[in-house]
Each structure stands twice: as C-alpha cells, then as structure tokens.
Structure 1
Amino acid sequence: MGGSAMKVLKGLAVGLVGLVVVLAGIGFLLPATAHVERSVVTTAAPGTVFPLLNNLHEFNRWSPWSDLDPNMTTHFEGPDAGVGAKMSWAGNGAVGTGSQQIIESVPNQRVVTSLAFGGYDHPSTATFTLTPEGKGTRVVWTYDTSMGYDIVSRYFGLMLDRWVGNDYSRGLSVLARLAESQAGAPAPETATAPP
C-alpha cells in the first residue's frame, strides 16, 4: 500500500474516532429522561373508566398493542386489580416481552404501573390520571423513563414521543369508546397530545 493510501486510511480512522467522541459528548448532554403524554376526554364518568385501568385483565380490551400480535401470551400474578396486580406478556417483534405491575391506585383518580421491557434495563412508569371534566372524564396517559448514562438510549429518548405517542392516542380512543359503551354514553373526542 502506498504512502498516500496510508494517509487516507489514517485520516479516515482519526475522523471516525473524532466522530464517535463528538457523538458520545453530545449524548451526555441529551436529557437522561423521556416523557410521552396523551389525553382524551370521554363522556363516561371516572367510576366507569377507572376499573378498565385498575384491572390489568382489562388491558388487552383497549391496548393499542393487542392487535399487533393476536398470538401474544399474557400471564397474570397477584390480585385481579389494584396495587400488586401484575401482567407479563410475550409476543412477536412488534410487542416484544415485558411486564407491568400496578404500584399505585387511587380510586377514580389515578393508576400508576411500573414497566419492565425485555432487553431494556431502565426504570419506566406509566401513569393514568382521571380528572372530571363536565359530565365526563379527561384521561391522561403518561410514560416516563430514565436512561441514566446510557448514551444510545438517550438518543432513542429523543424519538420516543414520535414512536409511542400515536399508540397512546389510539389506545385512549379505544378506552374511551369502551368506557362509553359500558356507560351507554355518546362517542369520545379524539385523543390529543399536550400543547
């Protein structure tokens, strides 16, 4: 190999190392947490919506992911509803594997679940907040996760809202329709992202 080819290879190697260092440096400056939030207003009362969230056996009736793998398996542990109720799932590449467990339950107001996803070690929670609005309920679904010092996850965190937000909107719309059908109420508004 000639001297000029070696210079080019050496320049490429130095450039590649420099790029990795710059991307790692930027990664450390990115947020260490990610947040996704969507909401819907339903004409159903909080007392009608709450059991659909507080009982994990109801989750697949409105989950935006249940249609992605009709062969997904689920396993339940603990009580049927409330704190300690746990659901684990295993499915195709679209739904993966994981579990969620209710860690907080305030009747007709809030349900918080701890989430664990296969291959993702960072703590995550999903929170459902119910607020009376008119004769109905505003349901806010949030997802929060901490990526710690994982630079790759921090880059993924930038895209999380775009990747998961539409699923949350779709799930909330189905949840609202389900609650309204149980209450005999009219159809819901469309789910929205925060302003």
Structure 2
Amino acid sequence: MLEVIAIIAVILAIAIAIVLILASTKPATFSIQRSAVIRAPADRIFPLVNDFRQWTKWSPWEKRDPALKRSYGGAASGTGAIYAWDGNKNIGSGRMEILDASSPSKITIKLDFFKPFEAHNTAEFTFVPEAGASATNVVWVMRGPSSFMSKVMQVFMDFDKMIGKDFEAGLASLKTLSES
C-alpha cells in the first residue's frame, strides 16, 4: 500500500512540475484582437463605444447577469468617463476608464478586473474607414501582463479563443446596431 502511495505521489509531483515548466514558457504579456467591417461610417459607430451607457446595447457581457449593478462616473463620455460593474460569477466586478478618445478613430480604455481574478489591462478600439468611408473596420484589442497564475491557467485554457468569442459577439452586435 505504501508503495502505491509513493508511486502516486511521484506521478503527481511530475505532473505538477510539467505544468509549472509549461507555464514558465508562456509570454509575459498577452494580446487578444478581433475585427469586423461594419457598413457604417466611423462617426456613427464611435459614440456607441465612447459612451459606456451605450454598451448595454451591444456588449456581450451585459446580458449575462440581469441583476448586474452598474455605476457611471467622470465625464458623460470620452476621456475621463468611468464605468464600474458588480455582477454574478459570469461577470465578476471591475472598472473601466476611457484614457483617450480621438473621435472618430481611436478609444483607449484602462480595464481593471477585481473578481473573480484581479487583472489590469488595456482595451483599445480603432475605427478605420474603408470603401470611401461607407464602411469601417473596427478593431478591438485587449492587452495586459500575464501573471504566473494566468500562465498556469493558459496551460489548460485558450484565452484567445475564450475571450475572442466574446469580442466577436460584441462586434457582431455593434455591427447590427450600427447598420440598422
């Protein structure tokens, strides 16, 4: 019996060592990016991202918690606008602040998550006119540091696919809203 326990302990130690080694090979930063061409001028799309109150119409996370608690502060929109949320386990809690809003081409957002995991990232939206300004390529990027715990999680989960799906859903909603 003692021999079986020793063998299990050695196998478990090897498995943990492999996970830790794989985690240490992950990059120190991450970047997730998705884009969509929307048949609308940038100046029609820009306000939907620049005003956090408009996010309820298109953000993929807004519908995951009907009891989501939202608060707004700072400027009504653009640089200095603040949005904080506190929701269920699917949403967690966090805060966003628009650091830069260059209408109608770019919005940079400081994105802080508090629950379920603390993280401090940057989100960026760029709006690039296409086809004579009758369409806009909207690019949504999130960048940030990868903590060691995040790297361990990345051994088992593909964050790009997981978060990328949400970005794709949000861009699709933004497209539908902007083109109607």
- TM-score when normalising by structure 1: 0.83
Give the match's secondary structure for 2:3. helix
Task: Tell me how far apart the structure 2 counterparts of residues 142 and 76 of structure 1 sit (CA, whole Å).
Answer: 23
Task: Tell me how far apart the structure 2 counterparts of residues 100 and 122 of structure 1 sit (CA, whole Å).
Answer: 12
- 1:69 equivalent to 2:68? Answer no
Q: CA deviation at 1:7?
A: 2.3
| Alignment equivalent of 1:30, drawn from 26, 29, 34 | 26
Answer yes or no: is the 8 Å Cα contact 1:52–1:58 preserved in 2: yes
Alpha-carbon spacing, 1:59–1:36, altered in 2? closer, same or farther (3 Å): same
- 1:130 equivalent to 2:127? Answer yes
Deviation by residue 1:75-132 (Cα, 9 ceiling, x = unmatched): 0010011121110011122112111111121111111111111233332111101000
Task: Tell me how far apart the structure 2 counterparts of residues 92 and 8 of structure 1 sit (CA, whole Å).
Answer: 43
Task: Tell me how far apart the structure 2 counterparts of residues 39 and 132 of structure 1 sit (CA, whole Å).
Answer: 13
Answer yes or no: is the 8 Å Cα contact 1:55–1:82 preserved in 2: yes
* Map of 1:186 onto structure 2: none
The residue type equivalent to 2:62 in the other structure is S
* Map of 2:52 onto structure 1: 56
- 1:42 equivalent to 2:41? Answer no
Task: Tell me how far apart the structure 2 counterparts of residues 162 and 103 of structure 1 sit (CA, whole Å).
Answer: 27
Give the match's secondary structure for 2:97. strand
More divergent stretch after superposition (102-111 vs 172-181) = 172-181
Task: Tell me how far apart the structure 1 counterparts of residues 151 and 100 of structure 2 sit (CA, whole Å).
Answer: 27
Gaps spanning 5+ residues in structure 1: where? 182-195
- 1:146 equivalent to 2:138? Answer no
The residue type equivalent to 1:75 in the other structure is S
Give every structure 1 segment of 4 or more consecutive aligned residues whose post-TM-superposition deviation is greater than 3 Å: 155-158
Deviation by residue 1:31-85 (Cα, 9 ceiling, x = unmatched): 2222221111112111111111111111111111111112211000100111211
* Map of 1:192 onto structure 2: none
The residue type equivalent to 2:84 in the other structure is S
| Alignment equivalent of 1:106, drawn from 84, 102, 105 | 102
More divergent stretch after superposition (24-33 vs 127-136) = 24-33
More divergent stretch after superposition (6-15 vs 54-63) = 6-15
- Of all paired residues, the percent bearing the same amino acid is 30
Task: Tell me how far apart the structure 2 counterparts of residues 18 and 169 of structure 1 sit (CA, whole Å).
Answer: 38
Gaps spanning 5+ residues in structure 2: where? none
- TM-score when normalising by structure 2: 0.89
* Map of 1:87 onto structure 2: 83
